[in-house]
């Protein structure tokens, strides 16, 4: 598309000759006889360039130029002045003209200079357009950033609520383990050495026979809350509650090189906490602990599953717990071998384990050695 020019000059002959020559060069030309007429033409036609004579009646070129610049700082404006009036051309340049031509015009040179001015004007317009697009893009990005920030904060809030909800039904360690990688929630497990602890309240069955159910729930929750706090403090995973009993795992899902000692220490700390909390009616836990390879992972169905362990070590720990007296902590040989340097224990010999063909060598943990008591 050819460039459009508003040509303003009070000399009719010059204006007509120049118009014809410009049109031959491919320009679309609108003429004006003075500055005021030029301003009206600019407003109507929105030209690419204005060719503006300096000396015109009514409204001179420099005054018109200043008004043009107030309206459009980027519009290409070339001033035309008579020979000998170069100082007025300098004044025009100071007022914002892009270039000036001296009459009589050398049209060949004039057309070259007009093209250069148009190129510079187009560059200015393009820079303006790009700046506006950049500003708009920046504003859009800022708005998008604000939206994303709000969304991110909402996601963080939901994640925190999800974590808190998970931790009400899952051990905190397992909850974080699953949230960090949801694929870990798939059914199945891995073979791994763990230490399993069972703790069961003694005399609870007899208590249940004579206590109102509402009060019974309060009592059992008090004991299980205390046991849970200690298990979690020692890095154990609370596997499940079974009525008045609790099952905990150590060394899963996160590795714990001292898992056997953590489990034994848990039993001692629960026992000590019962002495200091004075829960009524007075009850005591019996503990069974075994260490061995099990399959640990998600067991159940796609609809409902439980993070737990399956294997002989689970059975042995449970059966040891069944034989433990109030406050007694029974250890399998496998557990004893891992904690014997830190725990004082006495051998109880080989005991029969219910529903297990082989007898098991059992130890009673008596105390933590002083340097390992904390």
Closest CA to 327 of 268, 374, 253, 252: 268
pLDDT value at position 372? 62
Write the burial class of residue 179 (CB in 10 Å: 0-12 exposed, 13-18 middle, 19+ buried). middle
The listed range with the strongest mean pLDDT (178-187, 219-228, 295-304) is 219-228
**Rounded Cα gap, residues 190 and 54, in angstroms:** 92
User: pTM for the complete prediction?
Assistant: 0.58
Q: Cα(43)–Cα(55) distance, rounded to whole angstroms?
A: 21
pLDDT band at 125 (very low <50, low <70, confident <90, very high): confident
* Cα–Cα distance measured from residue 79 to residue 65, given in angstroms and rounded to the nearest whole number: 9
Q: Is the pLDDT of residue 27 over 60?
A: yes
Residue 168 has what pLDDT? 60
pLDDT of 319 above 90: yes
Residue 204's pLDDT is what? 83
User: What domains are there in the chain, each with its CATH number?
Assistant: 4-128 (3.40.50.2300), 189-372 (3.30.70.1230)
Q: 234: number of CA atoms within 13 Å, CB side?
A: 30
Spatial CA neighbour of 245 closest among 284, 277, 271: 284
Residue range 278-291: mean pLDDT, rounded: 93
pLDDT in tens, 46-100: 999 999 999 998 899 999 999 999 999 999 999 998 876 678 878 888 889 999 9
Query: Smallest Cα–Cα separation from 309: which of 374, 356, 263, 357?
Result: 263
pLDDT at 265 over 80: yes
Q: Is 208 exposed, middle or buried (0-12, 13-18, 19+ CB in 10 A)?
A: middle
**Percent of the chain topping pLDDT 90:** 57
| pLDDT of 187 over the 90 cut | no
**Parallel, antiparallel, or unpaired: how do β-strands 245-250 and 284-300 relate?**
unpaired
Higher pLDDT, 365 or 82: 365
Query: For 167-180, what is each residue's pLDDT tens digit?
Result: 665 556 666 766 67
pLDDT (0 to 100) of residue 154: 86
**Mean pLDDT of the chain, nearest integer:** 88
Mean pLDDT over residues 303-307, rounded?
Answer: 70
Is residue 16 very low, low, confident or very high in pLDDT (cuts 50, 70, 90)? Answer: very high
Average pLDDT over residues 141-155: 86
R_g of the chain computed on alpha carbons: 46
């Amino acid at each position: 598309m050819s460039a459009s020019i508003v040509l303003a000059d009070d000399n009719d002959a010059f204006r007509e000759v120049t118009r014809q020559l410009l049109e031959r060069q491919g320009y679309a030309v609108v003429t004006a006889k003075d500055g005021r007429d030029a301003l009206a033409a600019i407003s109507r036609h929105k030209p690419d360039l204005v060719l503006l004579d300096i000396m015109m009646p009514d409204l001179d070129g420099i005054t018109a130029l200043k008004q043009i610049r107030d309206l459009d700082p980027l519009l290409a404006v070339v001033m035309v002045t008579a020979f000998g009036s170069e100082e007025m051309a300098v004044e025009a340049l100071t007022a914002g003209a892009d270039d000036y031509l001296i009459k009589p015009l050398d049209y060949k040179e004039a057309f070259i200079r007009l093209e250069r001015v148009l190129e510079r004007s187009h560059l200015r317009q393009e820079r303006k357009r790009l700046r506006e697009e950049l500003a708009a893009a920046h504003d859009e990005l800022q708005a998008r950033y604000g939206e994303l920030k709000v969304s991110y904060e909402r996601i963080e809030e939901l994640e925190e609520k999800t974590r808190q909800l998970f931790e009400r039904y899952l051990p905190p360690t397992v909850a974080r383990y699953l949230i960090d990688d949801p694929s870990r929630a798939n059914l199945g497990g891995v073979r791994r050495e763990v230490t399993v602890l069972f703790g069961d309240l003694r005399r609870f069955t007899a208590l249940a026979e004579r206590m109102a159910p509402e009060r019974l729930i309060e009592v059992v929750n008090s004991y299980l809350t205390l046991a849970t706090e200690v298990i979690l403090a020692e890095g154990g995973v609370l596997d499940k509650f079974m009525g008045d009993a609790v099952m905990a795992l150590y060394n899963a899902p996160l590795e714990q090189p001292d898992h056997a000692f953590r489990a034994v220490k848990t039993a001692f700390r629960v026992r000590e906490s019962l002495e200091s909390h004075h829960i009524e009616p007075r009850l005591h836990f019996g503990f069974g602990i075994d260490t061995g390879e099990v399959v640990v992972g998600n067991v159940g169905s796609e609809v409902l599953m439980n993070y737990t362990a399956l294997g002989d070590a689970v059975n042995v720990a449970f059966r040891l717990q069944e034989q433990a007296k109030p406050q007694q902590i029974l250890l399998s040989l496998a557990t004893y071998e891992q904690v014997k340097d830190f725990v004082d224990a006495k051998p109880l010999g080989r005991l029969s384990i219910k529903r297990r063909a082989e007898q098991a060598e059992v130890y009673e943990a008596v105390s933590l050695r002083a340097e390992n008591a904390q």
